[in-house]
Amino acid sequence: KAGVTQTPRYLIKTRGQQVTLSCSPISGHRSVSWYQQTPGQGLQFLFEYFSETQRNKGNFPGRFSGRQFSNSRSEMNVSTLELGDSALYLCASSRTGFKTEAFFGQGTRLTVV
């Protein structure tokens, strides 16, 4: 059974640009969550999608958005990139999102210059 796949693995972008990250969950899993990991703030929840609907949202500005497709694959978009957006972005897949194991992908390392 394939794990959670995130693409791309690495990205370098310039301030002001926008970026789209992709996550393919484990087959049969309908919940996809996104997290940002930085040395200063640790792991922070961005948002969760379930059945193409955003079900939960963290405290991030509106520049961070996402969506989920009918096959449960999810994308995360960050517009008007800032230096502080440099981070490891992790996607988590779970069967229902509630009270079940969450499995993470390898992450996308975003560097904003």
Partner 1 sequence: SQQGEEDPQALSIQEGENATMNCSYKTSINNLQWYRQNSGRGLVHLILIRSNEREKHSGRLRVTLDTSKKSSSLLITASRAADTASYFCATDQETSGSRLTFGEGTQLTVNP
Choose, by CB under 8 A, the member of 20, 22, 26, 55 that binds partner 1.
Answer: 55
Contact call for residue 25 and partner 1 (CB under 8 A): no
Contact call for residue 99 and partner 1 (CB under 8 A): yes
Non-local CB neighbours of 102 within 8 Å, separated by 6+ positions = 33, 92, 93, 94
Contact call for residue 11 and partner 1 (CB under 8 A): no
Q: CB nearer to partner 1: give 3 or 16.
A: 3
Residue 9 gets the label, from left (phi > 0), alpha (psi -120 to 50) or beta, of alpha
Residues forming contacts to partner 1 in the complex (CB under 8 A) are 4, 6, 31, 33, 35, 37, 42-43, 45, 48, 50, 55-56, 58, 88, 90, 92, 94, 97-107, 109
